[in-house]
Amino acid sequence: MDFRESAKKLHQKIIDWRRDLHRIPETGVDTPRTEAYVCAELDKMGIPYRKGLGRHGVAAFLEGKNKKTVFAVRADMDGLPIREETGLPFASENGNMHACGHDAHAAMGLGTAKLLSDVKDQLEGSVLFIFQPGEEGCPDGPGGAKRMLDDGAFDDPVPAAMVGLHTGCIWKDFVPGEIGYRSGGIMACMDRFEILVKGKGSHGAYPHGSIDTISITGQLISELQTIVSREIDPLEPAVVSLGEVHAGTAFNIIPGECRITGTVRALNQETREFLARRIEEIASGVASSMRGSIEFKYGWEGPAPVMNDPAMTEELKLAAAKIVGEGKVREIARPSMGGEDIAFFLEKAPGTFFFLPGCNEGKGQTWPHHNSKFDIDEDVLWIGPAVMATMAFDWLKKQA
């Protein structure tokens, strides 16, 4: 099936979807307007769905000849609590912003659904479309992917394969019109840890009466940086970064507690587990050697490394070559230490997560993700649906 021309004909509609969604960005899993918009468009296509998964996620099921053989397409759809400064005529109306391209992802998810629904009589299997909130995280617990899975998004039937994409400017050596792929680890885990250093407060004039949590924390910060520099293979990507240090109420009081939070990034589960273990061991050892103690929390509920299945990545390459040409399908040389909670879905179904470059320097689209001036090149929006529809259609045909 050749989806190239049908995707081009649908291009303006995909742009319209993206602009409509761009005006109404919602954050976390609290995305009722976005959910309602997606459901209304699915109604027009005649695709049944379940809504309210993970609070406001949508799982739509396009039934083909075989209901039990299922290919999944995932599109995230939440925004960020950023006030937009793009000056676009369709800029956000509510104080939030689609500053990471999820408006485009949702629009391309709808585009893929439309392309495949138009040929559903020729589909050898079925397609599950996941429209996910909360990819950017949630302050009150796990992100949207895990919440949707907990609510049964991948249940009955379970998808046997899947695909997802990210647009924007994550990998700088790509230009719009190309496709970036990578087998194996493509993005890192996205873990949060917290260390509460506990000691004994005292007047600043009498430090000998304290167990100084500021001193303990200073030593601890230095020691934590040796994990990556001295305990991890230099060729193995790993990050331990501290983002918050909170202690004290006055200039002349030695505080009895100090709280540190940070993030861990790794590209495989073994390194992830090693970093978590060593952070706790070092923190406990440093604190006890200085007469203090710690309480340690590690956020295992965060997404694991994003692991692309080799076989499914090959399927992606074949589909992408049909749409943009083999010369524009390029391997991503270096993975990103950013995280993505599609990892939860990829743990359940083998799949691949690919890159659709969407920032055009010639159009002034040079601002990074999560910036108030971030924007994408709408000229590429037809490519994502064409590639994903081709991959789904061809893979299902091979399973028949």
User: 55: phi > 0 → left, psi -120 to 50 → alpha, else beta; which?
Assistant: left
Q: Do 339 and 273 share a domain, yes or no?
A: no
Q: Do 196 and 168 share a domain, yes or no?
A: no
Structure tokens at 55: 């609070």
202 Cβ partners below 8 Å, 6+ apart?
A: 209, 210, 212, 253, 254
Q: Do 324 and 224 share a domain, yes or no?
A: no
181-219 pLDDT, tens digit per residue, is: 999 999 999 999 999 999 999 999 999 999 999 999 999
Q: Which sequence positions are flagged as catalytic?
A: 78, 135
Q: Residue 52 in contact with residue 377, Cβ under 8 Å?
A: no
CA distances in angstroms from 390 to 122, 184, 360, listed in the order given: 13, 22, 25
Q: Residue 42 in contact with residue 111, Cβ under 8 Å?
A: no
Q: Do 157 and 182 share a domain, yes or no?
A: yes
The Cα–Cα gap between 252 and 202 comes to 9
The Cα–Cα gap between 328 and 177 comes to 7
Q: Identify the helix (H) or strand (E) that includes residue 33.
A: helix 32-45
Would you say residue 105 has pLDDT above 90?
yes
Q: Do 167 and 203 share a domain, yes or no?
A: no
369-393 pLDDT, tens digit per residue, is: 999 999 999 999 999 999 999 999 9
Q: Identify the helix (H) or strand (E) that includes residue 150.
A: helix 144-150
DSSP 8-class letter at 94:
S
The Cα–Cα gap between 358 and 377 comes to 5
Q: Residue 355 in contact with residue 187, Cβ under 8 Å?
A: no
Q: Do 136 and 201 share a domain, yes or no?
A: no
| Residue 80 neighbours by CB distance under 10 Å | 21
Last residue of one domain, picked from the residues 272, 298, 324: 298
Would you say residue 1 has pLDDT above 90?
no
First to last CA, the chain: 15
The Cα–Cα gap between 82 and 16 comes to 22
- When pLDDT is averaged across residues 318-344 and rounded to a whole number, the result is 97
In this predicted structure, what is the pLDDT of residue 326? Answer: 97
The pTM score is: 0.94
In this predicted structure, what is the pLDDT of residue 142? Answer: 85
Q: Kindly indicate the confidence band of residue 157, based on its pLDDT and cuts at 50, 70 and 90.
A: confident
Q: Residue 74 in contact with residue 344, Cβ under 8 Å?
A: no
Based on the structure, what is the number of domains in the chain? 2
Question: Which residue segment(s) compose the domain that 200 sits in?
Answer: 191-298
Q: Do 184 and 203 share a domain, yes or no?
A: no
Last residue of one domain, picked from the residues 298, 318, 342: 298
Q: Do 156 and 101 share a domain, yes or no?
A: yes
Strand partners, 355: 166, 180
The Cα–Cα gap between 84 and 299 comes to 30
Q: Do 256 and 372 share a domain, yes or no?
A: no
The Cα–Cα gap between 59 and 152 comes to 9
| Residue 243 neighbours by CB distance under 10 Å | 9
Q: Residue 258 in contact with residue 247, Cβ under 8 Å?
A: yes
Last residue of one domain, picked from the residues 298, 318, 338: 298
In this predicted structure, what is the pLDDT of residue 137? Answer: 87
For 193, list phi and psi in degrees, rounded to 5: -130, 155
Q: Do 129 and 79 share a domain, yes or no?
A: yes
277-286 pLDDT, tens digit per residue, is: 999 999 999 9
Q: Do 294 and 337 share a domain, yes or no?
A: no
Q: Kindly indicate the confidence band of residue 302, based on its pLDDT and cuts at 50, 70 and 90.
A: confident
Q: Do 20 and 168 share a domain, yes or no?
A: yes
48-91 pLDDT, tens digit per residue, is: 999 999 999 999 999 999 999 999 999 999 999 999 999 999 99
Q: Kindly indicate the confidence band of residue 141, based on its pLDDT and cuts at 50, 70 and 90.
A: confident
Closest Cα partner for 94 from 107, 81, 103, 104?
A: 81
347-356 pLDDT, tens digit per residue, is: 999 999 999 9
Q: Which amino acid appears at position 66 of this protein? A: N
DSSP 8-class letter at 379:
G
> What is the domain-level CATH number for residue 62?
3.40.630.10
Three-state DSSP at 251 gives coil
226-245 pLDDT, tens digit per residue, is: 999 999 999 999 999 999 99
Residue for token digits 């050898």? 124
For 259, list phi and psi in degrees, rounded to 5: -110, 130
> What is the domain-level CATH number for residue 237?
3.30.70.360
Q: Residue 312 in contact with residue 394, Cβ under 8 Å?
A: no
